[in-house]
Amino acid sequence: MNAPPKNRAWPREIRLPGAQLSGAATVAMLVVAVVVNTALQPNFWSSYALTSNFATFVPLVAIAVGQTFVVLSGGLDLSLGAQVTLASVVAVQIVDERLDRVPLAVAAALGVGLACGALNGLVVALLRLQPIVATFATSFVFSGLALVVLPTPGGSVPLEVTTAYRDAVLGVPTALLAILVLAVLWWVLRRHRVLRHIYAVGGDADAAYASLVPVVRTRVWAYVLGGVFAAFSALAILANTGSGDPFVGNELTLASVAAVVIGGTALAGGRGGAGGSILGAMVLALVTNIVFFADVPTTYRQLVNGVVIILALALAGIPALQKRRPAA
Amino acid sequence: MNTLLEMTGVRKRYGGVQALDGASLTAARGEVHALLGPNGSGKSTLDKTLAGTVVPDSAEIRIDGAAARIRGPRDAHALGVAAVYQQLSIVGDLTVTQNVVLGLEPARRLGFLDHRAARDRAAGALERFTAAFSGRLPLDRPAGSLDPGEQQIVEVAKALAREPRILVLDEATASLHKEQVEVLFDVVRELRAAGVLVVFTSHRLDEVFALCDRATVLRNGRTVGTVELAATDEDELVRLMVGDAPHRVPRPARARAVADPTSSPAAALEVRGLTTDRLRDVGFAVRAGEVLGLGGLQGQGQSELLLALFGAARVTAGEALLDGRPLPLSSPARAARAGVALVPGDRGRQGMFAPRPIQENLSLASMHRRARAKLALSAAAERHAARSMVERLQIKIGSLTDPVSTLSGGNQQKVVIGKWLLDRPRVVLLDDPTKGVDVAAKEEIYAIVRGLADDGAVVILNSSDNRELTELSDRVLVLFEGAVAEELSAEAITESRLVSSALRLAPGESL
């Protein structure tokens, strides 16, 4: 019995857009953002401004790298922001201003990310719920838990941590080093079998299954990696702000998706990488900066941010639209 | 005979279709064993059961005398089974090397990849086929950028790299050139000499005779026999595949008279040079009142032809004329407005809105005809239209407000057909309309199809069931690899003629 041919006019299932931005487009956006920022913020290149800018970039960069694993596997994690919140409030409650408890707090944050990722992975891969719906639901579980752990903003981090984070090592801002560490982590993981399998499952899950790839386990790994990098994001937030906030991760979720798309990873999965996501996260962070220094009234900031994200996403869709047009 | 593989009592049901109904296969070490059968006989399903990508409802499998449980591709691999799939298991975004080693990547400590070992393994598996890649192995190119024949070879190399003792080749030569086929056959012969069992499925009978030792023939999901190919000829194989079917009386004389070239003047639908990425220069003419069948092996472009005429495929060249006027092939909405209706092959996904009421499903395609000022619908008119169709097609329903999903397969299909009849189409395209439909409902659908033609519509019917084609068609176009290979009319439309016409094309002609 021959299987019916795959039909392009009527897809078997609705898939997320396969479009992706080229690396050149990502870099171009970054250059434009830097130039505009330089024009609006006169001391942009001063070491103080650079250090402070990078310090605010790290949380978004980390969560964007985490989202990259999930998107590459063909999924989407809308609970990453809530995971950041949960990991940060747990860590801030544990550390309780004591320097000797920092290792324990870091371990706890990573444990929270790992556990949340594993839960998401099991729900999506084993119970086969739609990733968008499943992770949207678990996001409420994680935010709810965060409110139980820390009902109102509070708690604080040892001063040594925040000072070190805003300092520089041999003239290089600590926060920039953190971004480099994230990039190196990605570079190392890229050479691991799990990442190869994530690409294969995101590219064509049926083919991967027939090719002996453990599809369920691979999907779970993608969400676990997402959770671990959400924990890194949480730690960076604590180091930057010095205190806990049970709502801190809310806006990071969609920003992480946007950063992944701007960074050239296809939402359909299988194509792209975290290198682009890191640049994409910086573009978004710079846009927030620009909106601030352009004296956009506070009430309009969210609107402007939203429009910029939509424009970036639309840019990624243009090549696909051109391909879809009939030749004749 | 040194038996290596024994599969017995293999059953698999897909929804309403019993794909395998107690099929069996016994094959030996060091043998190339062909698996043959007409469309829908269950060859691919049996292949996939062995390879682990289909989990059967029940089956007893013994490999080397030991009971085997195959619940996934990884189980099959552990038992030494590797497969080349008809729909390739290539991940287009990965490189050729990454595809060849996929799932079994050579790794150093802690699971970190050993790129050099992977390249060596891929190069080793592909070395034999170097000529097929114009002399240079594209080890680092994305597999998706290769042409279909090259991708097929990567798929073969991937299976070979697994060093199987049972190799399943499911239509593995379909997109290969002649020279590539020769290399593949040499490799298969070497494997045979080394004691490997190769299970070979191909729709090219000349390849089967050139390569295989024995053949097992399937029909309707059952095994009808195993033959030594050295002691068999093509006629005998076709007879085994088709069975001793009684000769059926085709359509009654009244409809035939319309099809008579002397009594009917201009063609109602004329198709010229129609080309898409799966169709090549298809041309034909159908008269009003005629049923044109589309035959051949499945997936040779029949469905694509119907989609193209319905404006749902990208047409790169050619045109269709309805009563001399060009038919718009750019979108289904335009095609429908011009009087074309399509009853699609995938009823559940493309033909109906399963959870919505029967009335809504019936009235959907023709609402514009009843809408006042193209805006307002009257509930009474909608109900009346739906009820008239339920009566005309004798659709067995409880209430018009029940979801269409509550109906049996046959009655669902009648709703899908009825939806279009309300729009009074002049060209009706039917894509395997009785798939998964019980026998009684089948006859009723046949009556509807004949009625449509008698009322003067152009009917084009694709069917994977050759008996259906003999019963309904005035003429049959046999398609092969996207082109019309043969046209059969009147007395020539018999089941054995359809099968042999679909199978006996020399591979040279197809390229």
A200-210 residue pLDDT tens: 999 999 999 99
Interface test with A, best of B50, B91, B170, B481 (most A CBs within 10 A): B91
Average pLDDT, chain B: 86
B88 neighbourhood in chain A, CB within 8 Å = 207
User: Up-side HSE of residue A99: CA atoms within 13 Å toward CB?
Assistant: 6
Interface test with A, best of B93, B220, B307, B315 (most A CBs within 10 A): B93
Residues 243-302 of A with CB under 8 A from B: 270-271
Tokens at B281, concatenated: 């220069």
pLDDT of residue B243 exceeding 80, the answer is no
Q: Catalogue the E-assigned strands of A83-217.
A: 154-156, 168-169, 172-173
| Partner residue opposite B298 with nearest CB, options A2, A10, A207 | A2
B416-458 residue pLDDT tens: 999 998 888 999 999 988 877 776 778 889 999 998 898 889 9
Contact state of B53 with A209 under an 8 Å Cβ cutoff: yes
d(Cα B310, Cα B462) in Å, to the nearest integer? 14
B40 neighbourhood in chain A, CB within 8 Å = 1
CB A51 within 8 A of CB A300: no
Q: What mean pLDDT comes out for the span A245-273? A: 90
Q: Round to the nearest angstrom and report the end-to-end CA distance of chain B.
A: 38
Positive or negative torsion for Cα B359, B364, B368, B374: positive
- What b/e sequence results for A272-299 when a residue is b if at least 16 CB atoms lie within 10 Å of its CB, and e otherwise? bbbbbbbbbbbbbbbbbbbbeeeeeeee
Q: What is the pLDDT of residue A19?
A: 61
> Percent of chain B at pLDDT above 90?
48
Question: In terms of C-beta density within 10 A (0-12 exposed, 13-18 middle, 19 or more buried), how is residue B388 classed?
Answer: middle
Q: Round to the nearest angstrom and report the end-to-end CA distance of chain A.
A: 34
| Partner residue opposite A212 with nearest CB, options B74, B85, B313 | B74
- Residue B385: beta bridge partners? none
B456-470 residue pLDDT tens: 899 999 988 888 898
Question: In terms of C-beta density within 10 A (0-12 exposed, 13-18 middle, 19 or more buried), how is residue A311 classed?
Answer: exposed
| A100 reaches B (C-beta below 8 A) | no
| A23 reaches B (C-beta below 8 A) | no
Nearest CA distance, B253 vs chain A (angstrom): 34
Contact state of B86 with A271 under an 8 Å Cβ cutoff: no
pLDDT of residue B246 exceeding 60, the answer is no
Nearest partner of B199 among B222, B228, B165, B152, judged by Cα: B165
CB atoms within 10 A of CB A264: 23
A7 neighbourhood in chain B, CB within 8 Å = 303, 307
Give domain B3-242's CATH superfamily.
P-loop containing nucleotide triphosphate hydrolases (3.40.50.300)
d(Cα A184, Cα B502) in Å, to the nearest integer? 58
Nearest CA distance, A156 vs chain B (angstrom): 38
Contact state of A210 with B73 under an 8 Å Cβ cutoff: yes
pLDDT of residue B245 exceeding 80, the answer is no
Contact state of B86 with A3 under an 8 Å Cβ cutoff: yes
| DSSP symbol at B246 | P
Average pLDDT, chain A: 87
Q: What is the pLDDT of residue A11?
A: 34
- What b/e sequence results for B133-172 when a residue is b if at least 16 CB atoms lie within 10 Å of its CB, and e otherwise? beeebbbeebbeebeebbbbbbbbbbbbbbebbbbbbbbb
Contact state of B89 with A207 under an 8 Å Cβ cutoff: yes
Q: Which residue of A has its CA nearest to B35?
A: A1
Residues recorded for chain B: 511
| Partner residue opposite A9 with nearest CB, options B85, B87, B307 | B307
ipTM (interface predicted TM): 0.84
Q: Catalogue the E-assigned strands of chain A.
A: 154-156, 168-169, 172-173, 243-244
Q: What is the pLDDT of residue B349?
A: 80
CB atoms within 10 A of CB A100: 8
Nearest CA distance, A325 vs chain B (angstrom): 9
B73 neighbourhood in chain A, CB within 8 Å = 209-212
B292-325 residue pLDDT tens: 999 988 778 899 999 999 999 889 999 999 988 8
Q: Which residue of A has its CA nearest to B219?
A: A1
| B158 reaches A (C-beta below 8 A) | yes
Alpha helices of B89-135 — where are they, by DSSP H? 96-100, 115-126
d(Cα A1, Cα B203) in Å, to the nearest integer? 11
Q: What is the pLDDT of residue B506?
A: 44
d(Cα B157, Cα B100) in Å, to the nearest integer? 7
User: Up-side HSE of residue A163: CA atoms within 13 Å toward CB?
Assistant: 4
| DSSP symbol at A124 | I
Q: Catalogue the E-assigned strands of B441-503.
A: 458-462, 475-480, 483-489
Q: What mean pLDDT comes out for the span B242-249? A: 57
Q: Which residue of A has its CA nearest to B90?
A: A207
d(Cα A58, Cα B33) in Å, to the nearest integer? 61
Tokens at B31, concatenated: 């043998």
A214 neighbourhood in chain B, CB within 8 Å = 74
Question: In terms of C-beta density within 10 A (0-12 exposed, 13-18 middle, 19 or more buried), how is residue A19 classed?
Answer: buried
Confidence of residue A298 (pLDDT cuts 50, 70, 90): confident
Q: What is the pLDDT of residue B15?
A: 65
CB B104 within 8 A of CB B89: no
Residue type, A147: L
Q: What is the pLDDT of residue B440?
A: 72
Q: What is the pLDDT of residue B441?
A: 79
Q: What is the pLDDT of residue B261?
A: 46
Strand order in the sheet with B427-431: B340-343, B427-431, B458-462, B291-295, B475-480, B483-489
d(Cα A247, Cα A250) in Å, to the nearest integer? 6
Q: Domain limits of chain B?
A: 3-242
Residues 178-237 of B with CB under 8 A from A: none
CB B6 within 8 A of CB B169: no
Q: What is the pLDDT of residue A320?
A: 53
Residues recorded for chain A: 328
Mutual angle of helices A102-121 and A80-95, in 10-degree steps = 150
| Partner residue opposite A204 with nearest CB, options B91, B171, B303 | B91
CB B349 within 8 A of CB A12: yes
| Partner residue opposite A1 with nearest CB, options B43, B104, B111 | B43
| pLDDT: which is higher, B366 or B409 | B366
pLDDT of residue B364 exceeding 70, the answer is yes
Mutual angle of helices A274-293 and A252-262, in 10-degree steps = 120
Helix/strand/coil for B383: helix
Nearest CA distance, A265 vs chain B (angstrom): 12
Residue type, A203: G
Interface test with A, best of B79, B102, B275 (most A CBs within 10 A): B102
Nearest partner of B198 among B80, B73, B100, B346, judged by Cα: B80
d(Cα B488, Cα B299) in Å, to the nearest integer? 19
DSSP, residue by residue, A217-270: HHHHHHHHHHHHHHHHHHHHHHHHHSEE-TTTTTTHHHHHHHHHHHTT--TTSS
pLDDT of residue B259 exceeding 60, the answer is no
Q: What is the C-alpha R_g of chain A?
A: 20
Interface test with A, best of B47, B70, B87 (most A CBs within 10 A): B87
d(Cα A235, Cα A87) in Å, to the nearest integer? 8
pLDDT of residue A13 exceeding 50, the answer is no
B72 neighbourhood in chain A, CB within 8 Å = 209
Contact state of A211 with B103 under an 8 Å Cβ cutoff: yes
Nearest CA distance, B289 vs chain A (angstrom): 29
Q: What is the pLDDT of residue B346?
A: 80
Q: What is the pLDDT of residue B262?
A: 44
Q: What is the pLDDT of residue B133?
A: 81
Q: Which residue of B has its CA nearest to A187?
A: B112
Highest mean pLDDT among A155-159, A198-202, A318-322, B464-468: A198-202
Confidence of residue A319 (pLDDT cuts 50, 70, 90): low
| pLDDT: which is higher, A7 or A109 | A109
CB B200 within 8 A of CB B34: yes
Tokens at A227, concatenated: 């959770």
Q: What is the pLDDT of residue A48?
A: 86
Confidence of residue A2 (pLDDT cuts 50, 70, 90): very low
CB atoms within 10 A of CB A43: 10
Going by their DSSP bridges, the two strands B66-68 and B17-28 should be labelled as unpaired
Backbone angles phi, psi at B227, to 5 degrees: -125, 150
Contact state of B83 with A211 under an 8 Å Cβ cutoff: no
Q: What is the pLDDT of residue A202?
A: 95
Tokens at A238, concatenated: 């604590």
B350 neighbourhood in chain A, CB within 8 Å = 10
Q: What is the pLDDT of residue A242?
A: 92
| pLDDT: which is higher, A167 or B81 | B81
Q: Which residue of A has its CA nearest to B51?
A: A210
Q: Which residue of B has its CA nearest to A323?
A: B314
Contact state of B42 with A1 under an 8 Å Cβ cutoff: yes
Residues 322-351 of B with CB under 8 A from A: 330, 344-346, 349-350
Q: What is the pLDDT of residue A10?
A: 36
- Residue B168: beta bridge partners? B83, B199
Question: 0.90 cut: is pTM over it?
Answer: no
Q: What is the pLDDT of residue B510?
A: 40
Q: What mean pLDDT comes out for the span A55-59? A: 94
